[in-house]
Structure 1
Amino acid sequence: MKHTASRLRAVLAAGGIALGLSMVAASPALAAPTTTVTMTATPEVEAGKAVDVSVALAGTVDAYSYAITVTFDPALLDYVDDSASEGPAGGFDSVEEAAGSVTILHSRLGTSPALAGDLAASLQFMSLAAGDATLTTSVTLVDTVGATTVLADAATAPVTIAAVPVETTPPTTPPTTTPPTSGGDTTSTPTAAPASSNNGDGSLAITGFGAGALAVFAIALLGVGFVALRRRSASAR
């Protein structure tokens, strides 16, 4: 009985050690890095302005090619041609456009080593109209043996597009007329009299000359009368 109990304890101990070793051996697989995706975009713009978008992949492992797809509302946003950034050196880049989506593709060439670590891509959109737009990205990774990993709807970024403000022209104020004050001076400004003519036949010249001639003529008559009166007086004597 004692030997049996000792053997049982030894079997249990060996089994526990084996289980522990298997868990330790499996732990690296459980701790394998996982690729994460983040996306940022210009949060607020005015219609007609550009929206800058950045997509970051963190923790990639043995990536021989990848595809980053960004979906959007085509009524609010439009991809700007040739705005996508280039991928890492040693690979081939291309961009595929469709209604409401754009895909950035990168593939290694020949003997170029696979990619690992952090990757990034950027692109630009033009805002078309006022509204709330949401950008969504999905990523597909292909390793060196052809295994594919799809990260669907991995990240989103909201964009608020404001309407273009309408400039209004303020109304012009009509000029105000001031009524004439009561008792105001209504005397009109006299106009200058026309200059008198140098002609001696003017009416004023004639009138002045006639008055002087009549006075001289009257004095002459008085003188003649006085002389005649004296002559009569002398004759009477």
Structure 2
Amino acid sequence: MTQTRTTLEGACSSGPDDWLADTRTSYDTVAESYADLVRGAMAGQPYLRAALALFAEQVQAAGGGTVADVGCGPGDITAHLHGLGVDAFGIDLAPAMIEIARRDHPHLRFEVGSMTELPLPDSSVAALLAFWSLIHIPDDLVPAVLRHFHRVLRPGGPLLVGFHVGDETQLKTEGYGGHPMKVHVHRRRPDRVADLLREAGFTVKAQLLVNLDGSLPGAILFACRG
């Protein structure tokens, strides 16, 4: 069972960059177990599949082009988008996750990188996806990350953001096969994330709420670069 400790919203590790190192190390540690857990999981997620299908339609309607899956993990969502006709590639903070993604999806491109210093040129991608990958970013760094998203997207490019809904932050100390972890998981309200997107220069188009009666409700926001 995953062990967590509730902390004040926006809390992070003690040093300014400790949270980033902790997140990288944690996901390197659990990479194999996490990949085993999520492999094939999309088959049981009809609402997420519908959101990704709509996103793929938006990409194609905007003229197509390369799509960045930022925080791609083991690459399952990247591969799902590829199956929908999207020229997707993945970026993840954890090198072990990228190794698994390259192993399991050798026909796709995956790179190690952090969304806090997104290693992509300005206006270089047609669309961008951050599917439950902003959840480990401290509150005070989210605006800068969203500005990076805006910077690398071409004008009018679609953005899809998925995240946990709530008001609290938890410290996750164990997970995915019982391995030790040290990551803060931030839950945020959709209206708050929508405001942050607008402040970063995005136009928010739609919102989908999922798992409303479950223990971990989520939200997906559709937006585009203004």
Could you state the TM-score of these two structures normalised by the residue count of structure 1?
0.22
Q: Which has the higher strand share?
A: 1
Could you state the TM-score of these two structures normalised by the residue count of structure 2?
0.22
For CA contacts below 8 A with separation 6 or more, give which structure has more relative contact order.
Answer: 2
